[in-house]
Amino acid sequence: MSADGFRFELGGRDGAARMGRLHTAHGTVETPAFMPVGTAATVKAMTPEAVAATGAEIVLANTYHLMLRPGAERVERLGGLHRFMNWERPILTDSGGYQVLSLTALRAIDERGVVFQSHLDGSRHELTPERSIAIQRALGADISMAFDECTPYPVDEAAAAASMRLSMRWAERCRAAFVERPGHALFGIVQGGVYPALRAESAAALAGIGFHGYGIGGLAVGEGQARMFDVLDRTVGLLPDDAPRYLMGVGKPADIVGAVARGIDMFDCVLPTRSGRTGQAFTRRGPVNIRNARHIEDPRPLDPDCRCPACAGYGRAYLHHLWRAEEILGRMLLTWHNLYYYQELMAGLRAAIEAGALDAWAAEFAAGQAAGDIAAL
């Protein structure tokens, strides 16, 4: 389903994997795509210009956090989220459903929505499907997400079914509340835990309602990679082929490669930025822990094949020094490197799909990760 000005253009395929292009009100996005997480209207330890320099074409922001601080209506008065955070490219906003589950200790869920206490100051708030959509519109998101209940893991099938069906009823209300504007879109979210029949029911319900794209939620919450891939194997093919598919909150590089091979087009995760702030760098030969003392006199870059500023200008010894000295620059450089690595990963996947060589590319990727960091040899 396409909105005026919003379009998903499918390009090459390689098995279930596909490459394409999202057309939005604020520009195009090449897929498969990874979205850096800018929860509170900032990608931590990065300027918007630095984020763009990594190759990122779209970022994610969050309804829950922005409704609490500084407030969606205030952002709207200041010209919308793009102007507020100085990001002129597309923005996807998460609906807030996951944060209500994960951050609020006191909450009440019913058919209307969720009443909860802010994790910031304990103030009382209500978030309904209609309110979530209104907030995302006020923010000016290019892609809004339907408000859902993120089913916890583990959970029995009966509880997963009740949660999923509530989310489907909320999805209908979100679709009714969404105001069509050129270049803007609304994605539904497939739920159902690890139960194939529930995932199929959810996918059919969302396709029947009709969304511009489809998220797959409730994964990467502790079920493990093998089970996550099994859910994707049973779910992705049930979604409309002409719409983008977004695996929410995923993940590690190997998770992304496996999910792309199964037909996923979009990803987001805090892992590259959080890892950068905690001393871990992702490389073509697996992760590097810059806190490790073995880097103390190592002049080599994190990854000799990487062209990011951290690798082009600094050695491991200096990055290790920055970490030990608790200098902010160390966190910034590792974050920049990780986001650059993720964008290079996505570019490699797109090129492999276009060339019909994804299997060979994925095998080479896996071999590099398994080889381990050369400094450890």
Taking residues 288-311, report their average pLDDT: 97
Q: Please report the pLDDT score of residue 38 as a whole number.
A: 97
Q: Quick check: is 227 in a domain?
A: yes
Q: Please report the pLDDT score of residue 375 as a whole number.
A: 46
For residues 256 and 307, state if they share a domain.
no
Exactly one of 94, 148, 255, 373 is catalytic; name it.
94
For residues 258 and 339, state if they share a domain.
no
Exactly one of 148, 268, 303, 373 is catalytic; name it.
268
Task: For residues 33 and 147, give the distance between their C-alpha atoms in angstroms, rounded to a whole number.
Answer: 22
For residues 46 and 88, state if they share a domain.
yes
* Residue 265 designated active-site: no
Q: Quick check: is 131 in a domain?
A: yes
For residues 249 and 296, state if they share a domain.
no
Q: Please report the pLDDT score of residue 374 as a whole number.
A: 56
For residues 73 and 170, state if they share a domain.
yes
Q: What domain range is 304 assigned to?
A: 275-376
Q: Quick check: is 1 in a domain?
A: no
pLDDT in tens, 97-131: 888 877 766 678 999 999 988 889 989 999 999 99
Residue 112, C-beta contacts closer than 8 angstroms, at least 6 positions apart: 126, 128
For residues 234 and 313, state if they share a domain.
no
Q: Please report the pLDDT score of residue 156 as a whole number.
A: 97
Q: Please report the pLDDT score of residue 320 as a whole number.
A: 98
Residue 375 CA from chain centroid, whole number:
31
For residues 230 and 363, state if they share a domain.
no
- The enclosing domain of 196 has a CATH number of 3.20.20.105
Q: Quick check: is 14 in a domain?
A: yes
For residues 155 and 291, state if they share a domain.
no
Q: Quick check: is 287 in a domain?
A: yes
Taking residues 169-195, report their average pLDDT: 98
Q: Please report the pLDDT score of residue 105 as a whole number.
A: 66
Q: Please report the pLDDT score of residue 377 as a whole number.
A: 32
For residues 261 and 226, state if they share a domain.
yes
Categorize the per-residue pLDDT at 290 as very low, low, confident or very high, splitting at 50, 70 and 90.
very high
Sign of CA dihedral 65, 67, 71, 72: positive
* Residue 359 designated active-site: no
For residues 238 and 103, state if they share a domain.
yes
Task: For residues 248 and 214, give the distance between their C-alpha atoms in angstroms, rounded to a whole number.
Answer: 10
DSSP letters spanning 113-132: -EEEE-TTT--EEEE-HHHH
Q: Please report the pLDDT score of residue 2 as a whole number.
A: 47
Q: Quick check: is 94 in a domain?
A: yes
Taking residues 315-321, report their average pLDDT: 98
Q: Strands 245-247 and 266-268, how do they pair?
A: parallel
Taking residues 292-309, report their average pLDDT: 97
Residue 222 predicted with pLDDT over 60: yes
Tell which of 237, 268, 299 closes a domain: 268
Q: Please report the pLDDT score of residue 196 as a whole number.
A: 97
Taking residues 124-141, report their average pLDDT: 96
What is the percent of the chain where pLDDT is above 90? Answer: 90
pLDDT in tens, 322-374: 999 999 999 999 999 999 999 999 999 999 999 999 999 999 999 999 998 75
DSSP letter (8 states) at residue 296: T
pLDDT in tens, 48-77: 999 999 999 999 999 999 999 999 999 999
Q: Please report the pLDDT score of residue 100 as a whole number.
A: 80
Q: Please report the pLDDT score of residue 4 as a whole number.
A: 59
**What is the number of structural domains in the chain?**
2
What is the percent of the chain where pLDDT is above 70? Answer: 97
Q: Quick check: is 2 in a domain?
A: no
Residue 220, C-beta contacts closer than 8 angstroms, at least 6 positions apart: 228, 248, 249, 250, 251, 255, 269
For residues 261 and 280, state if they share a domain.
no
For residues 261 and 279, state if they share a domain.
no
Q: Quick check: is 318 in a domain?
A: yes
**Whole-number mean pLDDT of the chain?**
95
Q: pTM of the predicted model, to two decimals?
A: 0.96
Tell which of 251, 268, 285 closes a domain: 268
Tell which of 221, 237, 268 closes a domain: 268
